[in-house]
Amino acid sequence: SVVPDVHAACPDATVTQEILQAGFHRELLVEIELDGVGEDAGRCAVAARTRLPPGIYMDPYELASLQQHNLTKVVLVPEAVDVEAPEYSATELLVLLYLEPNPRCSRCFRATLPMHGRYHRPAEDSEEALVVLKSPEVLVCCCDNRLSAECWMPAEVEAPCSGKPNSPCQWYSVRHKPVHEESILQVPVGLRQHSSIVCVLTLLATGLCSSLILAAVCKHGHFS
């Protein structure tokens, strides 16, 4: 007899992750389409959990402002982020991004989030450093439904289902098919052979600005 494949009938998801814009300041676009959930998809909360490598970060103050205006829902771990740290002294971040339903598709969810590239060490022969961002994990929380244990794997997530602190719910990890296994972020870097020129220009600019400030103080300052 043929043993039926239980997982073949289980819901899964298709994940699309894109990095928009150029330079140090980017946007991360995540789109998820649930398959096999049916009409219940609209009653589910969907989130993408991803790890940001040290080469990129999200600004917690910027995220707080966006959340205050209900423009995004996101949980950042750790909450305190050194936005000035260079890539070689930074650590990875864990991001839980809540997705919003796509009005054009009943089974589709999407969200965008600002992210920023960190400064890298100067390179020998390239003006760009490559940062690899893996495809996110798909998490679903359908608080009104009984979910099959064969299809859904409980996930350890210390975040409420709806993004509100008083609405606890069990998150589940969903099998997913990423359109791309990883995304590549190109971050501008300086060249080592330009270091002496940069140092000289920086010293000249610092000396000029200091002289202008001192001259303005001497001319317009009031001394007792």
Q: Using one digit for the tens of pLDDT, what is the confidence trace for 40-51?
A: 566 778 899 999
Per-residue pLDDT reduced to its tens digit, 109-155: 999 999 999 988 887 777 788 899 999 999 888 765 555 666 778 88
139 plus 157 within the same structural domain: yes
Inform me whether the pLDDT recorded for 97 exceeds 80. yes
Q: Is 68 exposed, middle or buried (0-12, 13-18, 19+ CB in 10 A)?
A: exposed
- The structural domain count of the chain equals 2
Q: Summarize the chain as % helix, strand, coil (round to 5).
A: 25, 35, 40
Q: Say if residue 200 is in the same domain as residue 177.
A: no
Q: Can you tell me whether residue 165 is helix, strand or coil? A: coil
User: Containing domain of residue 201, as a range?
Assistant: 192-223
Instruction: Let me know whether 211 and 118 are in one domain.
Output: no
Q: Token digits for 10?
A: 């289980």
Are 35 and 76 contained in the same domain? yes
The pLDDT assigned to 9 comes to: 59
Residue 152 in domain: yes
- What single-letter DSSP state applies at residue 123? B
| Whether this model's pTM surpasses 0.85 | no
In angstroms, the CA 193 to CA 200 distance is: 13
Residue 56 has pLDDT above 90, yes or no: yes
Q: How many CB atoms lie within 10 A of CB 181?
A: 9
**In degrees, to the nearest 5, what angle opens at C-alpha 213 toward C-alphas 211 and 216?**
110
Residue 3 has pLDDT above 50, yes or no: no
Inside any domain, residue 22: yes
Same domain for 169 and 91: yes
pLDDT of residue 152: 73
Residues 219 and 165 both lie in one domain: no
**Same domain flag for 173 and 121:** yes
Q: Please check whether residue 59 lies inside any domain of the structure.
A: yes
Whether residues 95 and 175 fall in one domain:
yes
Same domain, 28 and 65: yes
Give yes or no: residues 134 and 213 share one domain. Answer: no
Q: Dump the DSSP string for 182-196.
A: EEEEEEE--BGGGHH
- Same-domain check for residues 96 and 159: yes
Residue 122 lies in a domain: yes
Residue 169 within any structural domain of the chain: yes
Question: Is 7 among the domain residues?
Answer: no
Long-range contacts of 60-66 (CB under 8 A, 24+ apart): 62/114, 63/113, 63/114, 66/114
State pLDDT tens for residues 58-93: 999 999 999 888 888 888 888 889 999 999 999 999
Instruction: Tell whether 157 and 205 lie within a shared domain.
Output: no
